[in-house]
């Protein structure tokens, strides 16, 4: 094993230590009892560990292409996670979107593998620790608010709705014996306390939709540049990216013009373009994913050995949460693409105008299913055949919600 392989393994271990719920979800038998510690002291320890690994990787002078690719992936992951810590997104990132800390933790817990006595006991312990986890999140939110890092008002409203949804569907957490008592004594009051904090403290400080961007936060321009690098791996100028996006939108408008001047109104409002039933929506997503799976061998060398499963989102998830997917879990579970059945149906969706860039209805569900289809890691994980170890081990972590 080369030096950079050793560092890649050490980085992977550091990530599993930092995100134990993710580790359990992916089937690793490590810490099945802990939730992520988002205290500032835990952030400091993880940042220091990342710094040491990054410096060690930078010192290596590597000759082979596979080793240099591995080095690049390691350095990018180190920088991406360090930027996430430095951005303090945990303090202002309040939303029902499953890419945010509290939402994804509550979504992941009932999906953890509990197929061994150790995992079942660990799941119960995690339920007991949920109060401490949410108390830490409240502490971090309060510190962020005190320093001008405030959330977005309508996203706080959506998060409150999500908490109410979980409180109305606590049975979703009752997946192992003896969980019900813990749910009533710990989980319910913990979620209620967090929901009340959102309503009483976060919501009054929420930024309106005209001031929702990162640029309105302290050091917002730097935060935006961090996000650009995380999502593109390049240090690109945000203004240049914005101008490129505007040009592409104008090009798309020209392409759509062939379907008539009212094409966008019809996409949004024509009942004929909406699914007529929940089952039709799920079937459309299944067909889209099957089509992607059939084409995948033409594009990727490494393919999933199990097909992606299409399923309805739990009842607790509000209508405005976009479709999402969960990577493969323990026990060789398949990846799962999750969507709410009432999204895109004949009934107009809630919060129209606060969408996520993909049209609702038949076309929208197909696009979303393709976006979250057969891939079970980042695009480069499947396309890059030069280094199996990093692709196999770091790959799933790069796209796992925290």
- Calpha distance 85→48 (Å, rounded): 11
Q: With cut-offs at 50, 70 and 90, classify the pLDDT of residue 340.
A: low
Q: With cut-offs at 50, 70 and 90, classify the pLDDT of residue 352.
A: very low
% of the chain at pLDDT higher than 70: 78
Averaged pLDDT for residues 285-304:
89
Query: Which of the listed ranges 24-33, 242-251, 367-376 does the model predict with the highest average pLDDT?
Result: 242-251
Domain residues of the chain, as ranges?
Answer: 3-228, 270-398
Query: Which of the residue ranges 1-5, 67-71, 77-81, 306-310 would you say has the lowest mean pLDDT?
Result: 306-310
pTM of the model: 0.77
| Chain segment 181-197, per-residue pLDDT in tens | 999 999 999 999 999 99
Place of tokens 């220091």: 48
| Chain segment 111-163, per-residue pLDDT in tens | 899 999 999 999 999 999 999 999 999 999 999 999 999 999 999 999 999 99
pLDDT for the residue numbered 178? 94
Position 227 pLDDT exceeds 50: yes
pLDDT for the residue numbered 350? 39
pLDDT for the residue numbered 387? 37
| Chain segment 53-109, per-residue pLDDT in tens | 999 999 999 999 999 999 999 999 999 999 999 999 999 999 998 889 999 999 999
| Chain segment 241-277, per-residue pLDDT in tens | 999 999 999 998 888 888 888 888 888 888 888 888 8
pLDDT for the residue numbered 329? 58
| Chain segment 194-215, per-residue pLDDT in tens | 999 999 999 999 999 999 999 9
pLDDT for the residue numbered 118? 94
Averaged pLDDT for residues 157-176:
95
| Nearest in space to 339 (alpha carbons), one of 362, 314, 359 | 314
pLDDT for the residue numbered 308? 84
pLDDT for the residue numbered 347? 45
Compute the mean pLDDT over every residue in the chain, rounded to the nearest whole number. 83
Q: With cut-offs at 50, 70 and 90, classify the pLDDT of residue 306.
A: confident
Position 395 pLDDT exceeds 50: no
Position 369 pLDDT exceeds 80: no
């Amino acid at each position: 094993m080369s030096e950079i392989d050793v560092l890649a393994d050490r980085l992977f271990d550091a990530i599993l230590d930092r995100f134990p719920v993710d580790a359990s979800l992916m089937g690793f038998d490590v810490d099945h009892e802990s939730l992520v510690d988002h205290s500032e002291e835990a952030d400091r320890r993880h940042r220091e560990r990342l710094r040491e690994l990054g410096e060690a990787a930078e010192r290596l002078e590597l000759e082979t292409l596979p080793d240099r690719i591995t080095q690049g992936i390691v350095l990018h992951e180190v920088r991406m996670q360090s930027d996430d810590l430095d951005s303090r997104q945990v303090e202002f990132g309040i939303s029902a979107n499953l890419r945010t800390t509290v939402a994804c933790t509550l979504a992941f817990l009932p999906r953890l593998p509990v197929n061994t006595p150790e995992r079942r006991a660990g799941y119960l312990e995690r339920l007991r620790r949920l109060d401490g986890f949410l108390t830490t999140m409240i502490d971090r939110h309060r510190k962020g608010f005190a320093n001008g890092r405030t959330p977005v008002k309508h996203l706080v409203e959506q998060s409150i709705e999500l908490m109410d949804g979980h409180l109305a569907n606590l049975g979703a957490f009752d997946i192992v014996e003896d969980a019900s008592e813990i749910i009533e004594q710990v989980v319910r009051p913990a979620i209620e306390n967090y929901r009340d904090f959102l309503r009483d403290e976060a919501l009054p400080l929420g930024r309106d939709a005209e001031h929702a961007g990162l640029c309105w936060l302290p050091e917002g321009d730097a935060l935006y540049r961090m996000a650009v690098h995380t999502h593109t791996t390049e240090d690109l100028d945000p203004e240049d990216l914005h101008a490129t996006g505007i040009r592409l939108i104008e090009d798309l408008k020209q392409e759509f013009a062939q379907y008539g001047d009212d094409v966008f109104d019809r996409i949004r409002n024509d009942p004929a373009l909406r699914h007529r039933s929940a089952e039709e929506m799920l079937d459309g997503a299944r067909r889209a994913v099957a089509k992607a799976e059939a084409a995948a061998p033409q594009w990727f060398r490494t393919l999933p050995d199990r097909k992606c499963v299409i399923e309805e989102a739990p009842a607790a998830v509000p209508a405005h949460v976009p479709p999402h997917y969960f990577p493969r879990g323990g026990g060789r579970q398949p990846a799962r693409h999750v969507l709410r059945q009432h999204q895109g149906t004949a009934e107009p969706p809630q919060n129209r105008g606060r969408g996520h860039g993909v049209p609702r209805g038949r076309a929208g569900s197909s696009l979303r299913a393709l976006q979250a289809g057969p891939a079970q890691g980042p695009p480069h994980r499947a396309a890059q055949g030069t280094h199996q170890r990093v692709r196999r081990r770091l790959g799933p972590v790069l796209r796992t919600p925290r």
